[in-house]
Chain A
C-alpha cells in the first residue's frame, strides 16, 4: 500500500459563474477513492460554494449542492472555512450546508464536517499539507 499523504483542496471561486467549483468537487470525489488523507479549504468567494438554499432551475444548470452532502460517505470529513471570508460576505455558519460524517468508532454518531477557522489557523492547515490542489 502506497504511503498516505495529506491532500488539501483549496476552493476560492464562487459556484456557477465559472466551472472551478464543480471541477473541484469532481476531483475531490475521484481522489477520495484513493484512500488519502483529504482536507477541503473554502476561502474568499469559495465560501459561496457551500451556501445552502441553492435553486438552479432558473439558470438551467445542475444544482450540485446536494453532492457536498455525499462527501462524508467518502470519508471526506475535514472541511475548513475561513471565518474572515464569511464575515466579509455577511455570512455565518448558519448560512452553510449542514455537512456531516458518521463516526464508526462511536456507533455511527453524526459529526460536523465543517470547521470555521481563523486566517492563522487556515495558514497552519495549508502549511501542513503535503499535496495542494487549487481551484
Chain B
C-alpha cells in the first residue's frame, strides 16, 4: 500500500493518523504541505524517524524545493520527482490519500 499525505503535520492529525494506521513495509509519500513532515528537529520528527524503521518514507522533491526546506530533510527520507511518484503508484497494489 502507498499512503500519500498532503497536509502539514502541525495543522492537524493527518500525518499522525497515517503513521498510526499504516502497516510495516508500506510506502509513505509526503507531498504538497505534507513535506514539512519530512523536516528534522521538529516536534514530530522523532515519530517520523520511528516509522522509518519499518516503513519507507519518501518526499516529493519539487514540493520540498518550493518550500526552501531541502537542507532540513531527515536523513534516510528519499526525495523523488514526479516520475518517481508515478513509479511508486504503479508498483503498489493501491494508494490511500490522507486528505
Contacts and interface: CB of A to CB of B under 8 A. Distances in A.
B36 A48 contact: yes
Contacts of A61: 66
19 contacts: A14-B11, A14-B33, A17-B32, A44-B11, A48-B8, A48-B67, A53-B68, A53-B69, A53-B70, A54-B66, A54-B67, A56-B65, A58-B81, A65-B68, A88-B42, A88-B43, A89-B36, A89-B42, A90-B39
A58 B31 CA distance: 13
A58 to B, nearest CB: 3
B53 interface: no
A44 B9 CA distance: 11
A52 B68 contact: yes
Interface of A: 13-18, 44-45, 48, 51-59, 61, 63, 65, 88-90, 95
The main secondary structure of chain A at its interface with chain B is loop
Interface of B: 6-8, 10-11, 32-33, 36, 39-43, 45, 61-63, 65-72, 81
A59 B7 CA distance: 16
Contact of A16 (B43, B61, B67, B70): B67
Contacts of A48: 8, 36, 67
Nearest to B11: A45
A89 B62 contact: no
A90 to B, nearest CB: 3
A90 B70 contact: no
Q: Which 8 A-B pairs have the closest CB atoms?
A: A58-B62, A90-B41, A17-B33, A53-B68, A54-B68, A56-B66, A90-B42, A55-B65
Nearest to A13: B11
Given A45-B33, A45-B36, A90-B41, A16 B11 contact: no
A89 B66 CA distance: 17
A15 B67 contact: yes
